[in-house]
Structure 1
Amino acid sequence: MNKTALVTGASSGIGEATARKLQELGFIVYGAARRLDRLEKLAADGIRPLAMDVTDDDSMRTGVEQIIAETGRVDVLVNNAGYGSYGAIEDVPLAEARQQFEVNVFGAARLAQLVLPHMREQGSGTIVNVTSMGGKLYTPFGGWYHGTKFALEAISDCLRLEAKPFGVDVVVIEPGGIQTEWGGIAAEKLKESSGRGAYARQARAVAGGMAANADSGRNSSPPSVIADAIGKAVTARRPKTRYAVGFGARPLIAVRRIVSDRVFDSLISRASGVPAK
């Protein structure tokens, strides 16, 4: 019997690589994204395209209902859809901050709510929440983004305890620097939000570093390393609760555990390119 997986944010980057990895492992894979045209390459290779907006409840319910109608089960949910909204806390409009939480947190939580009844009935399943090393540490101008990732880490921990008695595993994936569109998009958001005004000098410096890394591929790993970790997690008899993978993830998380807040403030400011006074 083929197991079924749903991967959100499947149109590129980590989501696309994960959809392909799970298909390689024998899963029937549904790749979800807002626009079906961006899923054409996956569809051509036998991955089932699914139009889904993780900020639209009807869209999510319809998608899960379609999977159940066509396969009768859902074994893996990979909550990967997300983006980075960067800017000074003072500058970012609360409407944008709420949208960041809608996509990165509430969309993932709602999909978990929708698949859990089916997983409980089966007595098995795995929910994979893709957070970030940014769910364990922080950077200047990333307050709203880091807030979503810290929140998803906490929700995942609570959900793991709640779902365990029903045979459902909850796994957190904490990517480090990855070669995706994320860095370029976050840099543009930062320039839009804080490229002028009181924070402009710092924001332009940080955005420049983010964009340069994104363009060059420096300080980053290919999306396949995350896909491989997810593949390992969903096929393990007893998966780890967390997988920190990709450029810088393990050492930076380890440093954050060891040093004081003030020392980490200094380290991360310099690494982010914040100019000295």
Structure 2
Amino acid sequence: MTTKTALVTGASSGIGEATALKLQALGYTVYGAARRTDRLQALAGQGIRPLAMDVTDDDSMRAGVDRIVAETGRIDVLVNNAGYGSYGSIEDVPMDEARRQFEVNVFGAMRLAQLVMPHMRAQKSGTILNVTSMGGKIYTPLGGWYHGTKFALEGLSDAMRLEAKPFGVDIVVIEPGGIRTEWGGIAADNVEKISGGGAYAKQAEAVAAGMRSEANIKRSSPPQVIADAIGKAVTARRPKTRYAIGFAARPMIGMRRVLSDRAFDSVITRVMGMPK
């Protein structure tokens, strides 16, 4: 029996690292991708194949997919996990940074999807999992550019799901809630850097404090819950189209579905301790 092959981006820590190990435990040959392979050495020691890849560099992505196919003859799973949160007010975030946020979180993911699809179509099987966020269904102040990328990835995933279905390829959306990773600290640093000293300073202070609060960190779920959900999706005969997993994901998405815009605005303002 041919061993199935998986590519996980953003594999150097957090969700990506946990997912790479989960897929390996399920019997996959796993390639863990990151910009810096030195951060993949711990995974390499456990049998994960490290892959240098920058999702904003087309040559890098092409070379990575070509290497996987050359070495294994196939690619069965793509986990588009690489991404980051560029926080700051819509007004304050420089357009170059806004574009980079889309390059990493959206265009990099979808370019990889383009590159693996011909191989999956030829196999008549495969699964592409796009890691969005509950932030692809809800919104928070000073997170507009980040939310924009995740909303976009949700819509692209829905369209691609219909396009890929006749070829036996599943497109699955993973919507993490609050997860205990370095993401929150990086986003908090960003919001202070971008909006911490101007008209939005009070909002930036509240957002950063919430992201760093001990209570919030304790409530957050471990990355393993996302890895487990991805494991269920790739082994299911008919996976769900979406998996909302982790702290607050289901209740917040459910609340957004039933509340009016103004009512949800009030909830978010209160939950985040925003100045009125």
Q: TM-score range by the shorter chain?
A: over 0.9
Is it true that 1:251 corresponds to 2:267 in the alignment?
no
Stretches of structure 1 that go unaligned for 5 or more consecutive residues are: none
Give the counterpart letter for 1:212 in structure 2: S
Aligned-partner Cα distance in 2 for 1:272–1:40? 38
* C-alpha RMSD of the superposition: 0.9
Give the C-alpha shift of residue 219 in structure 1.
Answer: 2.5
2:103: which partner in 1?
102
Corresponding residue SS for 1:180: coil
Stretches of structure 2 that go unaligned for 5 or more consecutive residues are: none
Aligned-partner Cα distance in 2 for 1:247–1:212? 15
State the 4+ residue runs in structure 1 displaced beyond 4 angstroms.
Answer: none
Native 8 Å contact 2:210 2:216 kept in 1: no
Deviations 1:102-159 (A, max 9, x none): 0000000000000000000000000000000000000000000000000000000000
Give the C-alpha shift of residue 49 in structure 1.
Answer: 0.2
Give the C-alpha shift of residue 270 in structure 1.
Answer: 1.2
Native 8 Å contact 2:176 2:246 kept in 1: yes
1:227: which partner in 2?
227
Native 8 Å contact 2:134 2:249 kept in 1: yes
Give the counterpart letter for 1:258 in structure 2: V
Aligned-partner Cα distance in 1 for 2:236–2:13? 25
Aligned-partner Cα distance in 2 for 1:219–1:143? 24
2:164: which partner in 1?
163
Aligned residues: 275
Question: Percent identity at matched positions?
Answer: 76
Within a 5 Å distance, the mapping from 1:1-277 to structure 2 comes to 1-213=2-214, 217-276=217-276
Aligned-partner Cα distance in 2 for 1:206–1:106? 27
Give the C-alpha shift of residue 23 in structure 1.
Answer: 0.1
Corresponding residue SS for 2:30: strand
Aligned-partner Cα distance in 2 for 1:240–1:65? 29
Give the C-alpha shift of residue 216 in structure 1.
Answer: 6.4
